[in-house]
Amino acid sequence: MMPHQAYKFRIYPNKDQQAFIHQTHGHCRFVYNHFLELWNTSYKEEGKGLNRSIMSKMLTKMKKQDDTAWLRNVDSVALQASYENLIDAFQRFFQKQNNYPRFKSKKNPVQSYTTKNTNNNIAIIGNQMKLPKLGLVKFAKSRNIEGRIMRATIKYNASGTFYVSVQCEVPDFKPLPQTKEAVGIDLGITDFAILSNGRRVDNQRFTAKMEQKLKREQRKLSRRYEQAKKEGRNLRECMNYQKQRRRVARLRERVAFQREDFLNKLSTALIRQYDVICIENLNTKGMLKNHKLAKAISDVSWSSFVQKLMYKAKWFGRKIVEIDRFFPSSQICHTCGHRDGKKPLAIRVWTCSACGTILDRDINASKNILIEGLRLLKQQP
């Protein structure tokens, strides 16, 4: 099975194309909610939900009925993808990966639909992208697409911008040349990452840098909301409120893009430099329950960083070794292996009571992670 790679571009649809995208979002949302309601009813009455065959036949009938004939106006593949997403949501629920599926709302600031490439109806033509039912759409071609295009997801963000994510089936990636180097990484908040070779990667604190500006703009948004509520006006008709809402959304979007760019560049650099990367398996969800650190932990996005390391290592023939989250990396001396026990977080210098080694606490932890990772790697078949 060939690996998949996604490319994300900003698109610039004209007014008619924008209207059609919004219409498709609404139709897909209707199909999803309709089958979710039927699924709930079927489960209550018969003790079982729907399956793919039943929903496919029902959707075909709905297109022929007078009251729902308008479903024929949009891309049929996008409608099919809606109930496929519902099936996937239930499968994840039964596997305890997420909560019970909920109804989609048109008030959700992010709307999207997915369509497949059939008979070359998704293609790149110069600086335009050909999309089903939309025709040629201008897009920001920041890089060339490699491989066979399989599907595309058209997304509308709260900032009022449109994006397309193109998933491609690409030939196997060529393994990177061996560097015969390994590294242990201790993730933190003060420094984003501390490497076993002593290098520190600074925490960029993207949210904190934008926090004051975000607070100011959000206060403006709240005032305009209260004014509209006092006058009894519909928020969709309040142009000043909508402008301010998009302004706040753009600031949040900028933070997200900055973080994504940072994580991608750092993970790629590490994959290119090291054959083996040892990293802790952190319980991020549990750590987020600490309300004093929740904002800082969310801002650093450890989970996203580890996920990027994982799939890039798989692409380029590198090895990622995850250390058990209960491994006491900050309590062991990397030189002699003596365990001194847990020390206060305020003490940032490690001093071994057995051999007298003095070292930065985080660097000592990253070295222990590397040692444990290499030990586990030797035990693998």
Say how far residue 283 (Cα) sits from the centre of its chain. Answer: 17
What are the beta bridge partners of residue 332?
Answer: 339
Q: Is the dihedral of CA 57, 63, 65, 67 positive or negative?
A: positive
C-alpha distance from residue 129 to each of 32, 133, 250, 326 (Å)? 27, 12, 24, 49
What are the DSSP E strand ranges found in the chain? 4-12, 111-116, 123-125, 128-131, 135-139, 148-156, 162-169, 182-187, 191-195, 200-202, 276-280, 319-323, 349-351, 358-360
SS3 helix, strand, coil % of the chain, rounded to 5? 50, 20, 35
Torsion of CA 97, 100, 104, 109, to 10 degrees: -50
Q: List Cβ neighbours of 269 (8 Å cut-off, separation of 6 or more).
A: none
Active-site choice (75, 299, 362, 372): 362
Phi, psi of 305 (to 5 degrees): -65, -45
3-state secondary structure of 279: strand
Q: Is the dihedral of CA 323, 327, 330, 331 positive or negative?
A: negative
Active site annotation includes 362? yes
DSSP code of residue 182: E
Active-site choice (186, 217, 299, 372): 186
- Exposed / middle / buried, residue 277 (Cβ in 10 Å: 0-12, 13-18, 19+): buried
Q: Give the span between the Cα atoms of 146 and 149, in whole angstroms.
A: 8
Tokens standing for residue 261:
């760019």
User: Which conformational region is residue 341 in: left (phi greater than 0), alpha (psi within -120 to 50 degrees), or beta?
Assistant: left
Q: Which residues are catalytic?
A: 186, 280, 362
